[in-house]
Structure 1
Amino acid sequence: METLLNEWLWQEEYWLPPGITWQDIEMKEDEGHFPVPRDLIYTLPLAFAFIAFRYVFERIIAIPLSRHLGVKDRVRIRAASVPKLETFYEQNSRQPSQNEVVSLGKKCGLSQKKIQTWFRHRRNQDRPSNTKKFCEASWRFVFYLVAFTAGLGSLIDTSWFWDHRECWRGYPKQPVAEVHRWYYILEMGFYLSLLLCVSVDVKRKDFKEQVIHHIATIFLIGFSYCSNYVRVGTLVMLLHDSSDILLESAKMLHYAEWTRTCDSLFVVFALVFLVTRLVVFPGRVVHTTLVVSLEFFQPFFGYYFFNALLLVLQALHIFWAYLILRMVYKFMFMGKVERDERSDEESEVDEAEEESEEDRDECSWEQRKGAINSKLASLANNCVLNNLKNQRNINSRLPKAR
């Protein structure tokens, strides 16, 4: 297996610039540590460790914090127990077609409207609670905050943090510091844990884009480490973490219904995101990998593959920037951020219909109460009029009696 990998996967033309061999980049112990693929073997057990730590964190810290901040879960109408409908919901579809609704109505002896209402209530029953979404956001917030702080502290004194040409000086024979090696391993392990948990996390409208983002990020981190693009890779991770901190903190405040603070923080996040992802990332990072790097070596497969992954990330940045600008537009012209453009994938119509159904019930009760009140008032008026009429008749008889 090792021979096969060496002959096929680890060919020098894939990972190294033309004219450079693996022997040329070997380092002695006093020269430092050269990044090798076996360093990334720690990321898989680390991903499972992140999942276990997240489970403990959500129950010991996140849930009590959500209660302290006033996060409230919506009380939803529970669907009635109908075994045939439950079986269809679990095994076939959560949104049956019109023909399926007719067929289910015949089997269960229910009207089509009741069948549709049952499925709407059942779908809303499975929607994630605000507490679950708060826990997810708080976990990511803590990691991004720690990763950004540690990454900035380890990079601020490096030469390539201020001069991007230093990313390529001496490439590919560049030793990697121990702190940057673990920075890579922790980031890759975290994104791997997110990919493993994607099926149980809150499913949003941009679910596919999120999966593509996680996969592209994992490939980008892994490939950049094996190709010794560590200096550029650390800058990419630091840029992403800077705006993600603000995004997750804004989500936490949104679920806690701290509206003013959330809206203000969202504006700050939008500015940071647009500057870092649409200006700094393409203008500095992508430019240095596409253009500046060619001053130090000739292009090879790793050069094209690494830049292709960066461009995939940039395409996702443009997509998310479009969603953010839509929310900024609503904030400016409507006074508040109405709804997260990346809200849950579950149909928003379901919840809107449930709310309208509650409103209709309330309105019908108000109408019935108004009708009862009007009848009572009419009855009271009739009683008063009758009393007055009787009083006048009595008064008219008094002179005759005298």
Structure 2
Amino acid sequence: EREPDKWCGWGGGAPVNVSWSDLEDSEGHVYAKASQLYGALPCTLCLLIVRHLFERYLATPLADVWGIRDKVRRTVEPNPTLENYFCSQARVPSQADVRSLCKKTSWPEKRVQVWFRRRRNQERPGLRKRFCEASWRCVFYFFAFVGGVLALYDKPWLYNLKEVWAGFPKQSMLPSQYWYYHLEIGFYLSLLLRLTFDVKRKDFKEQVIHHIATLTLLSFSWISNYIRIGTLVMALHDFADVLLEGAKVFNYAKWHQTANAMFVVFTVVFMLTRLVIFPFWLIHCTWVYPLEQFAPFFGYYFFNVMLLVLQILHLYWAFLILRMVYKFIFSKVCSQLVLLCSQGLFIRK
């Protein structure tokens, strides 16, 4: 019969017959604790401050050097009726509302539509703001990936995924894992806090889901001592993100050939890491290998469900990426065909 103080982990986060007392620091072994997650809060604050200083004193001067300028947009003429509708009801009025607004303002329909178009343009973030944000993310992901490689390159579980579960959950925490986790949690928490102030992208809702799922996954993996697999997941994600943000930076700087080349490399890396390695190596590692040592428990199901949520987002973003690649290739082919046709007509003439 099971001892009274033994229960199904901390809330089901660990296998049966593992309790808090089993993971108390002793004999040089140090284990992750839930209270240590509070350390991510000052880390988040530091990253927000570093980001502000980086964007102001590094990214902005770099934008000046590369000649990145915001487009001059025409301001709309003051109109309280249209402004009230824009702020309280819709940014893009329906045809029926346009006709109604025409009656209220005594403006022609085309003038009302132009007003709304220019008003929406005023709300769009400038190119320099996009450049600064992409530069910050690119720099962070680069250093995070390098830090992840340094923390993992000499670990046996990088080369043999079965080592991820060797001795689980009694796996001593390493200092490199502590800092790697806290930096990543602090970074994603800072992104979540800045979502309403940063450039609002088309996949805004998916970004919110991604950040919340990532923070939940990182926090739960820390509490449940799933640290080894957690560091592998973080390093795998950071690799592709460096290339994506780098491609954005060069695109904003109008280094289009460099940006296109980097985007192609990013596409290949994304498909390989997010659609092959992540599901068939890492999720397989968390789904199959633990069952060789212990029976399924709540933490096992919860962790794998969160990984599957990330995988669904990967599939969604892969669709968007492939659509962009298709449009890029198709536009290039069409332009070449137009050029060849025009040359042929010129020769015939």
Fold agreement, TM-score > 0.5: yes
Matched, 1:145 2:142: yes
SS in 2 for 1:335: helix
What is the DSSP-based 3-state SS (H/G/I as helix, E as strand, rest coil) of the residue aligned with 2:32? coil
- Inter-partner Cα distance in structure 1 for 2:201 and 2:10: 41
Q: What is residue 107 of structure 2 aligned with on the other side?
A: 110
Take 1:319 and 1:85, find their aligned partners in 2: how far apart are those partners? 36
How far is the alpha carbon of 1:13 from its aligned partner?
A: 4.8
Q: Note the C-alpha offset of 1:151.
A: 1.1
What is residue 136 of structure 1 aligned with on the other side?
133
Confirm or deny that 1:16 pairs with 2:43.
no
Distance 1:12 1:90 in 2: 48
Q: Relative to structure 1, is the Cα distance of residues 231 and 11 closer, same or farther in structure 2, using a 3 angstrom cutoff?
A: closer
Give the conservation status (yes or no) of the 8 Å contact 2:151–2:177.
yes
The Cα shift of 1:102 comes to 2.8
CA distance in 1, matches of 2:288, 2:172: 23
| 2:147 is aligned with 1:156 | no
Aligned residue in 2 for 1:236: 233
Q: Secondary structure at the match of 2:209?
A: helix
Compute the displacement of 1:42 (Å). Answer: 1.6
Deviations 1:28-84 (A, max 9, x none): 1x3221001111102123223222221221111111111212323222222112233
Mapped to 2, the partners of 1:259 and 1:335 lie a distance apart of 14
1:121-179 deviation digits (Å, cap 9, x = unpaired): 10011111111111110010011011111110111011111111111010000011011
Query: What amino acid is aligned across from residue 33 of structure 1 in structure 2?
Result: V
Equivalent residue, structure 1, for 2:183: 186
8 Å Cα contact 1:13/1:300 also seen in 2: no
Question: Which residue in 1 is equivalent to 2:271?
Answer: 274
Query: In the alignment, which residue of structure 1 is the partner of 2:196?
Result: 199
Return the offset for 1:221: 0.2
| Contact 2:76–2:115 (8 Å) recurs in 1 | yes
Deviation at 1:11, TM superposition (A): 6.2
User: 1:32·1:177 contact (CA, 8 Å) conserved in 2?
Assistant: no
CA RMSD, Structure 1 to Structure 2 (Å): 1.8
Matched, 1:45 2:59: no
Letter in 2 for 1:86: E
SS of 1:221 mapped into structure 2? helix
Q: 1-side partners of 2:199 and 2:11: how far apart?
A: 42
Q: 1:333 aligns with which of 330, 333, 336?
A: 330
Which amino acid letter does the alignment assign opposite residue 121 of structure 2? N
Contact 1:246 1:265 in 2 (8 A): yes
The residue that corresponds to 1:92 in the other structure is 89
Structure 2 segments unaligned to the other structure (5+ residues): 1-7, 336-349
> Corresponding residue for 2:119?
122
Question: Which range moves more in the overlay, 71-80 or 309-318?
Answer: 71-80
| Closer/same/farther in 2, CA of residues 332 and 111 from structure 1, 3 Å limit | closer
Does the 8 Å CA contact 1:95/1:119 hold for their aligned counterparts?
Answer: yes
Distance in 2 separating the partners of 1:13 and 1:77: 58
Distance 1:112 1:49 in 2: 51
Which consecutive unaligned segments of at least 5 residues does structure 1 have? 1-9, 339-402
Match of residue 101 from structure 1: 98
CA distance in 2, matches of 1:23, 1:38: 15
Does 2:23 match 1:25?
Answer: yes
For 1:74, the aligned partner's letter is K
1:16 aligned partner, one-letter code:
A
Q: Distance in 1 between matches of 2:320 and 2:103?
A: 44
Is this contact kept in 2: 1:250–1:266, CA < 8 A? yes
Partner amino acid for 1:77? R
Is the 1:101–1:115 contact (alpha carbons within 8 Å) kept by the matching residues of 2? yes
Indicate if the aligned counterparts of 1:221 and 1:233 stay in contact, CA closer than 8 A: yes
Which residue does 1:376 correspond to in 2?
A: none
Q: Classify the secondary structure of the residue corresponding to 1:12.
A: coil
* Structure with larger Rg: 1
Instruction: Tell me the SS of whatever aligns to 2:43.
Output: helix
Shift in alpha-carbon separation, 1:219–1:81, aligned structure 2, 3 A:
same
Mapped to 2, the partners of 1:91 and 1:329 lie a distance apart of: 38
Inter-partner Cα distance in structure 2 for 1:198 and 1:34: 33
Contact 1:14 1:300 in 2 (8 A): yes
Report the TM-score, using the length of structure 1 for normalisation: 0.78
Query: Hey, what's the Cα distance between the residues in 1 that align with 2:322 and 2:201?
Result: 18
- Contact 1:171–1:296 under 8 Å retained in 2: no
Deviation at 1:330, TM superposition (A): 2.7
Q: Which residue of 2 aligns with 1:385?
A: none
Residue identity opposite 1:304 in structure 2: Y
8 Å CA contact 1:43–1:186 kept in 2: the answer is yes
Corresponding position of 1:351 = none
Equivalents in 2 of 1:13, 1:210: separation in Å? 29
The residue number in structure 1 matching 2:69 is 72
The answer as to 2:219 corresponding to 1:222 is yes
Q: Distance in 2 between matches of 1:179 and 1:199?
A: 32
- Alignment size in residue pairs: 328
Of 244, 247, 250, the residue aligned with 1:247 is 244
The answer to which of 228-237 and 274-283 deviates more is 274-283
2:342 match = none
Q: 1:284 aligned to 278, 281, 285, which one?
A: 281
1:208-243 CA deviation, whole Å, 9 max, x = no partner?
111110000000000000000000000000000000
SS of the counterpart of 1:14?
Answer: coil
Structure 1: which amino acid aligns with 2:221?
Answer: S
